[in-house]
Chains A and B, each alone.
Chain A
Amino acid sequence: MIDLSISDSGDVGKLVLSGSIGIQHAAQLKESLLEGISAAKQLVLNVSDLERADLAVIQLIFAAHRSLADKGKTLSIDGKISEAWHTAVKDSGYVGCLNTNDNNGLWTGEGK
């Protein structure tokens, strides 16, 4: 499930990915990411209940994270990063893709 909520103040957009997310949700995920980035000052991602993610999801989140970093913004993480997310990062070879900009361990491919 993809759930985007923007705080009343309009400052924080919170994107929750749960269950199994994949290519079939890619279009919706892209819309949510774009909306979250443009509507809110800060985007918060929660993948703590994510059970499965595929390459399409990895590509989108990476693209979003990269464009935030380019603009000097950060992607905050809410809750713990699920094993499913780490596995997807590792399996897709995206480990370390954000270099030094990965300030919250989203792209390490390792659980803590």
Chain B
Amino acid sequence: MSVEIDTSAFTEEAYELLSELEASLLELEESPDDQDLIGRVFRAMHTIKGSGAMFGFDEVAEFTHEVETIFDMARNKTISVSKTLIDLTLAARDQIRSMLDAAAGGEPADKNNAQKIIQGLRALAPGAGGAPKDSGGGSAKKPPAQASVDEPHVYRVRIKPNQDIFANGTNPLLLLGELRDIGEDCQIIAQYEGLPPLEKLDPEQCYTSWEVFLTTKQSENAIRDVFIFVDDQCELNIRLLDREEVLGNDVQKLGNILVQRGDIKEEVLEQALKPIGDRLVESGVVSSSQVKAALAEQNAIKAKRDKKVQAESATSVRVPSEKLDGLVDLVGELVTVQARLNQTASTRQDHDLQLIAEEVERLTGELRDNTMSIRMLAIGTTFNKFKRLVRDLSTELGKQIEMTTEGADTELDKTVIDQLNDPLVHIIRNSIDHGIETPDVRIAHGKNPQGLVHLSAIHSGASVLIRVEDDGKGLDPNALTRKAIEKGHLPPDAQLTDKEAFMLIFGAGFSMAEKITNVSGRGVGMDVVRRSIDALRGSIEVASELGKGTTITLKLPLTLAIIEGLLVKVADELFVLPLAAVEECVELSRTDIANAHNRHVINVRDEIVPYIRIRDRFDIPGEAPEIEQIVISDVDSKRTGFVVDSVIGQHQTVIKSLGKNFEHSEEFSGATILGDGTVALILDLSKMVRYVEAEEEDLSESVAA
């Protein structure tokens, strides 16, 4: 047992809290009056500060203390949540992160920046001019005065403990004593009417309840905190008594004073004091039932969100991801062995063995699905990061952009999510920089000055579709084609469909930006997107309408470790095509080939589909059979056929990497081991098509030359 305190527990927790914090802050920006959110931010800061100090991260604790102090004021409604506050807190969050990184051996955090943030925050405090700095070290416990509001309030606190409250060691008198301690004046009145006669009284039960009148500068929260251990063991009712109730009618409400002074008419005052729902109903905009429904919805949403947050924090177990990777590897091995077992059982024609094999197959399938589901994470966290990105970028570029998201709870394999971050950053940056116009341009085009970026995720079969939509100026297919020809990416006579032209933006070194901004336009970026999505075995589709906007859809597999494949055969070689891309299989006879004059195309229900002969592509020796099979697949939004000798069938494909020696074989994305121990290569269709296209171009150029 080590006496040394392990700080990794703290840093891990802190990182997690920081990402939660960011999400809360962005939400808070949208609903700045949401006390729950303010509370969440406060608690996150509070925990980082408290644990930070305990584990010797004094710098972090001191810095966080400043932020916490401000948020305590927001919690107590001394100050309101402004954009400046959110800006500063986001900056503070980043600063805390770099402090933590620094402690983990990263670059030292910028102290001047920290100082700037602190000054900014202090300036927000009422009567600012710089509150005196908390003398170092003792930052864990703030002096109570800091949480206070200037004028003391009078609260009526009703406390009714459960009768059995003594049974868990609670001493109610201590709690009353605490109340007395936080108040300037405190009258405690016991209610003992419920106390039975001595003979009938259970001496170990509490029959007393209290009514306490407390004059204090502290907030209601501070009063509630006193009862934190017994909140489920007593009824607590706190009411802030109006000044009128306390002082009689000596002090009037501001509104009444205004009426008396003739500044406003009574009717106006009444109107102004009504809840917004009533005002809307009266002005005929909405009906009262609509308001009721809206209120119900509002409550439901709140309840749901609270529940979700609670459920997430209550029931999760944290496991290092390597452990999960190990588990997935083992399941992969098991799937392979199970295929062998099936094969052996059927060859031997042993009925008993076959029964066992079937049972093992069922269990393996369940185990596989279960294991995969453990690795699934909701994409929401990633979405939240982008909210921040959009916010920062739009400020930088002087654009007004609202980002909306949909399907944040869509789940994807952790590896996929991790690798999705960069491509999405590029796409979103591109949308903001090239897509969304500046407010004046938008107004000139009759658009809402505020641009919209909509990020959505949705399940579609074994894939997830992630969409980035903007309502910007859209892509011009002709301009794109011209640019590509100019740059020599395309032959001068190239004829492209709109879809193909849109895909040009993913070419290496292709940029439509006229000027290079900090954000994009350096011609790097979008080709990275394509490479990353390829590596994830996904595909990209672009739709755009000039003047209206652009939608980029990423189609990604749910998982990377095991895929559904289509097993095919060419001579004695076996290959796997990802089933997700396969659309149909058609026959290819010698006559068909002859009819097409040996050009590699086939007419499938009046559509000309080009194809690639696997046999030729990999120089596989031997004669092709009389009738071959074409597997028609969707590759980068184009239908392309792959010619094989025969189609064997669907296959659970456990993907094995090819290892260093075959790194250059880019046309394969991996290999898999079949039941009988033979190896099949997994084809990377998208890359294959690109290679063939490039070669054909070279060929045609050399012919032309």
> Quick check: do A and B touch in the complex, using CB within 8 A?
yes
Determine whether A16 belongs to the interface, using a CB cutoff of 8 Å to chain B: no
**Chain B 176-203 residues near chain A, CB threshold 8 A:** 176-177, 180, 188-190, 192, 195-199, 201, 203
Whether A94 contacts B192 in the complex (CB less than 8 A), given A54-B173, A56-B166, comes out as yes
Known contacts: A54-B173, A55-B171. The answer to whether A63 contacts B206 by CB under 8 A is no
Q: Is B623 an interface residue (CB 8 A)?
A: no
Of the candidates B192, B196, B203, B204, the one having the most CB atoms from chain A within 10 angstroms of its own CB is B203
Given A30-B203, A91-B173: A59 touches B208 (CB 8 Å cut-off): yes
Interface size counted on chain A using CB atoms at 8 A: 25
CA distance A97 to B191 in the complex (A): 9
Closest to A26 in B: B203
Interface string of A57-87 (1 = CB under 8 A from B): 0011011101100000000000000000000
- Determine the chain A residues whose CB is within 8 A of the CB of B206 once the complex forms: 55-56, 59
Contact in complex: A60, B210 (CB < 8 Å): no
Check if A67 sits within 8 Å of B173, measured CB to CB: no
The answer to whether B198 touches A63, judged by C-beta atoms less than 8 angstroms apart, is yes
Which of A34, A37, A60, A63: most chain B Cβ within 10 A? A63
B482 → chain A closest CB, angstroms? 86
Q: Contact: B198 with A56, CB < 8 Å?
A: no
Asked if A33 is at the interface of the complex by the 8 Å CB criterion, the answer is yes
Ordered by A's residue number, 11 sampled pairs between the chains whose C-beta atoms are within 8 Å are: A26-B204, A55-B166, A55-B172, A55-B173, A56-B204, A56-B206, A60-B203, A66-B197, A93-B176, A93-B212, A97-B190
Q: A23-B166, A23-B204, A30-B203 are in contact. Are A63 and B197 (CB under 8 A)?
A: yes
Flag whether A27 is at the interface (Cβ < 8 A). Answer: yes
Could you tell me the distance between the alpha carbons of A94 and B206 in the complex, rounded to whole angstroms? 14
Which residues on the A side are within 8 Å of B166 (C-beta)?
Answer: 23, 55-56
Nearest first, the 4 A-B pairs at minimum CB distance are A26-B203, A93-B190, A93-B188, A30-B203
B interface residues, tally (CB under 8 Å) = 24
Given the contacts A55-B172, A91-B176, A63 and B188 also touching, CB distance less than 8 Å? no
Q: How far is the CA of A92 from the CA of B203 in the complex (A)?
A: 16
Task: Name the contact of A62 in the complex, choosing from B177, B192, B204 (C-beta under 8 A).
Answer: B192
Contacts of B204 in A (CB 8 A): 23, 26-27, 56
CA A26 to CA B176, docked complex, whole Å:
21
By the criterion CB–CB under 8 Å, are B195 and A59 in contact? yes
Give the shortest distance, in Å, between B190 (CB) and chain A (any CB): 4
Is the C-beta of B207 less than 8 angstroms from some C-beta in chain A? yes
- Give chain B nearest CB distance to A64 CB in angstroms: 5
Contact of B195 with A54 in the complex, beta carbons under 8 Å = no
Bound-complex Cα distance A27 to B132 (A): 54
Taking CB atoms and an 8 Å cut-off, the chain B residues in 447-498 that contact chain A are: none
Instruction: Tell me whether B188 and A91 are in contact (CB under 8 A).
Output: yes
If A67-B197, A92-B190 touch, whether A56 touches B203 (CB-CB below 8 Å) is yes
A4 contacts which chain B residues (CB < 8 A)? Answer: none
- The docked-state distance in angstroms from the alpha carbon of A37 to that of B199 is 11
Q: Is the CB–CB distance between B203 and A55 below 8 Å?
A: no
Closest Cβ–Cβ distance, residue B703 to chain A (whole Å): 101
Interface centre among A37, A55, A64 (most CB of B within 10 A): A55
Known: A26-B203, A55-B166, A92-B172. 10 other contacts (CB 8 A): A30-B203, A59-B201, A63-B195, A64-B198, A88-B173, A90-B188, A91-B188, A93-B189, A93-B190, A97-B190
Report the separation of the CA atoms of residues A27 and B201 in the bound assembly, to the nearest whole angstrom. Answer: 10
A14-35 at interface with B (beta carbon < 8 Å)? 23, 26-27, 29-30, 33-34
